[in-house]
A = this chain, B = another copy of it.
Amino acid sequence: MVNTTYQVQGMTCGHCVSAVTAEVGGIAGVHDVQVDLATGRVTVDSDQPLDTEVVRAAVDEAGYNLVDA
């Protein structure tokens, strides 16, 4: 299991958290997504290391921006 933390910009409420959790949770191989609204930190458990561009696309799809590390 791989655990990766991303930084997401623009989430303002619980609905935003749900949208990001659902989109990122839909990526193949993702088992768990934890979002901290206050910090914008998104922690993802996955089978294999994830392609950052796939995560970025999911975050974009939800309507938010992945901040480059």
Contact = CB atoms under 8 A, between A and B. Distances in A.
Interface of A: 12-16, 18-19, 63
A55 to B, nearest CB: 21
Total copies of the chain: 2
A12 B18 CA distance: 14
A17 to B, nearest CB: 10
Contacts of A19: 15
Contacts of A14: 63
A61 B18 CA distance: 17
A15 B18 CA distance: 10
A15 B63 CA distance: 11
Interface centre among A13, A14, A18, A19 (most CB of B within 10 A): A13
